[in-house]
Homo-oligomer: A and B are copies of this chain.
Amino acid sequence: MATLKEIGAELGLSPATVSRALNGFPEVNKNTVDRVREVAERLGYRPNRVAQRLVTGRSGMVGLIIKIRADMSADQTFFEMLTGLTAALGAQDTDLVLAVDQDDDPVLPYRKLMERDILDGFILNAPVPDDPRVAFLQEKGIPFVMHGQTAPDVDYACFGIDNAAVSADAVRLLTSLGHKRIALINGQSRYAFSVDRLRGFSKAMEAEGLSVPAAFMTSDAETETHGYTHALEMLAGRDGPSPTAFVCASTLVAAGVMRAVKDRGLSVPGDVSVMGHDDALPLTQARDLEPALTVTRAPLRDACQPLAELLVAHVKGAPAEQRIERAELIVRASTGPAPKGGETPWLST
């Protein structure tokens, strides 16, 4: 493996100049730069990352700790993020080190990995309100970037979508179609994104002068089955007039809801409108549902690049930056005007 010294020897230059030439420093003679480039190319030079890391004090590795849940429902999500993150980090000359969280203490794996003293920072996901990991890492001064955020305003690096806006957008679309009774089938309530979605939903409904009984707002793991079960229950009419529209946590949940609607002998969107949020997972395409699903869309994959950039920049000393984007609203065939008889709102409780 060629080194700076060898390239220098070949040209009668010092390693220092070669280093500068290759790193694009302005004070190097243009002619020299070309010659150095040529020789480096010919010798197949690759900088020794270990040596670079020794001198810069950074390790070039960031950690991702995955929590293995009993339900394993997060698999698709996990693989999608893993794929995107390794690619995006690789472009920044950074490697992803994985560890598995098998403990009860959410902070322990982070502590363990830091003790091994090889990581520059972490990528966190699935934030919960008052996330203990944030407190721990901030206290220790360890850089990290969060996918999502624990609260509307935070002071750490994060990237995500505006989850309150996600459900607010959905509500506005549905109310503009005349819907008054809109149900929410949300994700697990322990996660911050669910809290945000619920908040956005409630506020938007309130702004429209509408209210939603508790029975029509549920929280559960984002599976097809849960979508089906909850929707079936809500459409039974036991808790009051049935919803004419559903806002769902994910495409998968929406699929379950649509199945329930059909099993009740109703049609989408004739009798009931259904919306989902689309993370654009390759195996669960919103447009492939029948009818094609109207969604707020924010591909999970799109988050990987910004997450990698934000973290690497932060590790290199840049201030923690928050980037919250707005999910796209894509109207397809699963939403339509409220049906006859859908004009009656639920009574405010």
Residues of A within 8 A of B (CB): 1, 46, 48-51, 53-54, 59, 61, 66, 68, 70, 72, 75-76, 79, 82-83, 86-87, 90, 93, 95-100, 102, 115-118, 283
Contacts and interface: CB of A to CB of B under 8 A. Distances in A.
B95 A96 contact: no
A100 B72 contact: no
Nearest to A76: B72
Nearest to A44: B115
B72 A86 contact: no
B90 A102 contact: no
Which of A46, A72, A76, A118 has its CB near the most chain B CB atoms (within 10 A)?
A: A118
Given A49-B118, A54-B51, A86-B99, A72 B72 contact: no
A225 to B, nearest CB: 16
B83 A49 contact: no
Contacts of A93: 116
B46 A50 contact: no
Q: Would you call the interface of chain A mostly helix, strand, loop, or mixed?
A: mixed
19 contacts: A1-B117, A48-B117, A49-B118, A50-B53, A50-B54, A50-B59, A61-B95, A70-B283, A72-B76, A72-B79, A86-B98, A86-B99, A86-B100, A87-B100, A90-B99, A90-B116, A96-B97, A97-B98, A98-B98
Contact of A49 (B49, B100, B117): B117
A30 to B, nearest CB: 28
Given A95-B118, A98-B86, A115-B46, A68 B59 contact: no
Contact of A98 (B50, B72, B82): B82
Nearest to A47: B117
A82 B100 contact: yes
A68 B1 CA distance: 32
B70 A72 contact: no
A325 B300 CA distance: 42
Contacts of A59: 49-50
A96 B50 CA distance: 16
A79 B118 CA distance: 23
Contacts of A66: 82
